[in-house]
Amino acid sequence: MITPSEIQAARRCITIALENGASASRVCLTKSVNDTCTMLNSELDKVTHSADRSVYIYLYVDGRYGTFSTNRLEEAELEAFIIKAIGMVRMLGEDLCRTLPDPSRTATDAKSGLELGLYDAAYEGTDADARLHTAESLSIYGSLAAGEDGFIETDGRRFRLISEECEYADSIDDIYTVDSQGFEGRHTETSFNCFTEMTIEDTEGNKYSSFWWEASPFIKDIHGQECSRTALQKAISQIGPKNRRSGLYRMVVDTAVASKLISPILSALNASSIQQKMSFLEDSIGKRMFPEGFTLMDYARTPGRTGARLFDTEGVATKDAPIIENGIVRQYFVNTYMANKMHIAPTVEDITRPCVLPYLRDEAIHSGSISRQDILRRCGNGILVTGFNGGNCNPTTGDFSFGVEGFAFRRGRITHPVREMLITGNLLTLWNSLLAAATDARPSTRWQIPTLAFDAVSFSA
């Protein structure tokens, strides 16, 4: 973790910058350690250890702006580095829109880095042997009984296991930010992750791959073999895909991939996209652009949840706030630079922890959970999308074309896998056909996007 002497060095960078002609400065000191153990077919394949320390220096000099980074914190070297950097900034073009944020907007409650409860003390006791043991425990390769022909039979499907790759990783990230206006903030977070990818072959020689993962700031939440068994089951379920006719279908998008349809919305709400005329949500603040009842929140400050932060990279305090509320756009993401450039009020530079709230078209939401199976039953017939394979979205118009794979379902029950299909349309049209949003977003993800259902989506075979 960041030491007191390193904090003093970061503060000293501010003093050096101001003493040598900078009108303002911000410094961000980051330290991280990452350890990974990878298993291939139950055998140890790779072990990696990496440690990084960087100091990022943001300089505001004579109406000009520049950013620089180094990993050296010795005072004499820092002073020479910053003096040279200031000289380089003076050679740049003037940009008076570059300023530090108003001090009243910066966070005051991120002093220790531990306020959000995202640091697991168990990390300190995790050594190389413990990491190797956890990685070994992920594997189910040797526990699968194959016949004399090398094939395994599960639920009436026969397959041969080609490969199993398992990975366990843990890390710690510590960030300390200070600026010349008096802001100081710190964020400390541990992360524990396991990942498995399975590749199998059916009796006709067709190969299928799938993966699964678990992640948490807390090691107690990692259940390794469940991860591997899920990855295997997902691969097996792909056996025997059938062709599907082109047409309009109800589409259910699994929570594991549903963020694909949220990402273009968040990009379109970014002030830089709007300023560059590259947003299909330009001039949408206060307007109902999405179905009534649909709400997208930024739950930035939820303690103990992956991705929570008390401040952004400028030091601006985050807050829990609606981004889209009952279909109405409430907020753009506007950093200090874009606010000055566009003459609009600043907010935060980006969303921290997006969460889609439960939604059922034409129905009130009562307490209780809504699962993927609940949504499949409500939709009756259609296609469940479990993977996106390329494609693009026009940021100006919202028109999209995505390759997808998944399963056909009938009367709420999955019937067979489908592959190599294409969905096309416009994002605003798609979202205004929203039928449901479940409550099954995975706790391990920063983006809390649940299973989604849409009506009359154009699929091409």
**pLDDT per residue over 174-228, tens digit each?**
999 999 999 999 999 999 999 999 999 999 999 999 999 999 999 999 887 789 9
DSSP state of 124: G
Cα atoms found within 13 Å of the Cα of residue 412, Cβ hemisphere only: 9
Determine which of 24-28, 129-133, 253-257, 366-370 has the lowest per-residue pLDDT on average.
Answer: 366-370
pLDDT of res. 276: 97
Q: Which domains does the chain have, with CATH numbers?
A: 4-32+52-101 (3.30.160), 121-236 (3.30.2290.10), 247-460 (no CATH)
Mean pLDDT of the chain: 96
**Burial class (CB within 10 angstroms; exposed 0-12, middle 13-18, buried 19+) of 177:** buried
pLDDT of res. 59: 98
d(CA 162, CA 207): 9
Name the one residue in this structure whose structure tokens are 């890390």. 171
Determine which of 90-104, 294-308, 362-376 has the lowest per-residue pLDDT on average.
Answer: 362-376
Q: Using alpha carbons only, how large is the chain's radius of gyration in Å?
A: 25
pLDDT of res. 366: 72
Write the DSSP string, 66-110: EEEEES---HHHHHHHHHHHHHHHTTSPP-TT--PPPGGGB-SS-
Cα-based angle 246, 252, 255 (whole degrees, multiple of 5): 135
Q: Which of 208-211's residues contact partners 24+ apart within 8 Å by CB, and which partners?
A: 208/235, 208/236, 208/238, 208/239, 209/235, 210/234, 210/235, 210/238
Backbone angles phi, psi at 83, to 5 degrees: -60, -45
pLDDT of res. 294: 97
Pairing state between β 382-393 and 296-298: unpaired
pLDDT classification of 72: cutoffs 50, 70, 90: very high
Q: How far is CA 291 from CA 229, 249, 295, 320, 433, in A?
A: 38, 19, 9, 22, 8
pLDDT of res. 147: 85
Residue 424 neighbours by CB distance under 10 Å: 14
Q: Looking at this protein, which amino acid is placed at residue 200?
A: I
Task: State whether residue 270 is helix, strand or coil.
Answer: strand
Asked whether the predicted pLDDT for residue 337 surpasses 80, the reply is yes
pLDDT classification of 156: cutoffs 50, 70, 90: confident
d(CA 267, CA 419): 28
This prediction has a pTM of 0.95
pLDDT of res. 363: 84
From first CA to last CA, the distance across the chain in angstroms is 52
Q: Which of 77-83's residues contact partners 24+ apart within 8 Å by CB, and which partners?
A: 78/9, 78/12, 78/13, 78/16, 79/16, 82/13, 82/16, 82/17, 82/20, 82/57, 83/16, 83/20
Contact between 421 and 244 (Cβ < 8 Å): yes
User: Buried (b) or exposed (e) across 125-153, using 16+ Cβ within 10 A?
Assistant: ebeeeebeebbbbbbbbeeeeeeeeebbe
Contact between 82 and 57 (Cβ < 8 Å): yes
Q: Among residues of the chain, what percentage have pLDDT more than 90?
A: 94
- pLDDT tens for each residue of 9-54: 999 999 999 999 999 999 999 999 999 999 999 999 999 999 999 9
